[in-house]
Amino acid sequence: MAALRLLIRLPLLIIILSITAIVATLFLVADLVTRQRFNRSPVARICFKSCCRCIGVRIHESGPLPRGPALLLSNHISWTDIPVLGGLMKVRFLSKAEVGNWPLVGWLARQAGTLFIKRGSGEAAERRDDIRRTLEAGESVLIFPEGTTSAGLTVLPFFPRLIGAATAADVPIVPVSIAYLREGDPCHIAPFIGDDEFHHHLIRMLAAPAPSVHVTWHQPVVPQPGESARDLSNRVRDVIVEGLRSSHQEAGVRGCPAATSSSVASRTEMISRSK
């Protein structure tokens, strides 16, 4: 069955990406001819939704989508978080710079308006200004403040420096929880962690049975007077952890792993199982 799933899904995904690349190229040509940038958001959402169907994920969402521009903060488990969340609402992502160098996927991400940040480069202040300007222009931005992916059992500590963009732009901060489940347990295939290679992980996702992805849109978190960026980001993280825990509880996950404060041992186990 794994070989059959791969045989069906991989060609479909290639077709979807090829069509998207053609459309993106036509947008570039139109931009050059008219000297204005056309809105790629509708095409991006269609591409994200189509990719999710090709990869094979069953998405369940709860909670209200934000109305108007917002800074969304989500836990981060896999590169598939982007097509999952991007297919559900119009949003621009902040992604690590390495994604921009991925063949075709990186180019398509840039065409969709993705913002990129190089970890450890001291670009946080510059990217915060980019996010603020994007929010002020009426577009929502989603960031992954853990700065890396996790095994999906809990939420890693947040880097708080970018959260000030919401206050500067006077837009709400909306926490988002995402959980991957498979047969009543956290999915051990979806996490993109450790030294895993993108193409290896993609093949495993395409060959595996479809996981269930639970997305929870939480109520906005309002900054308190005099509250530091660190304290604010910790409050947002607490909301996301609770959402992850609730998704695990509703699915009947044994032991409810999201309730733990550390996932070092579990992370090591998940890496070994995903190989």
In this structure, the chain runs to a length of 275
Question: pLDDT digit string (tens) for 32-48?
Answer: 999 998 888 888 899 99
Mean pLDDT to the nearest integer, 230-235 = 95
Neighbour-count burial of 76, counting CB atoms closer than 10 A to its CB (0-12 exposed, 13-18 middle, 19+ buried): buried
Cα atoms in the Cβ-side hemisphere of radius 13 Å centred on 30: 10
pLDDT at 246 over 90: yes
Looking only at the bridges linking them, the beta strands covering 92-96 and 115-117 are parallel
pLDDT at 72 over 80: yes
Max alpha carbon distance in the chain (Å)? Answer: 58
Question: pLDDT digit string (tens) for 101-158?
Answer: 777 777 778 777 788 887 666 777 888 999 999 999 999 999 999 989 999 998 999 9
Higher pLDDT pick, 99 / 149: 149
Q: How many Å apart are CA 61 and CA 175, to the nearest integer?
A: 14
Mean pLDDT to the nearest integer, 181-193 = 92
Q: What is the pTM assigned to this prediction?
A: 0.86
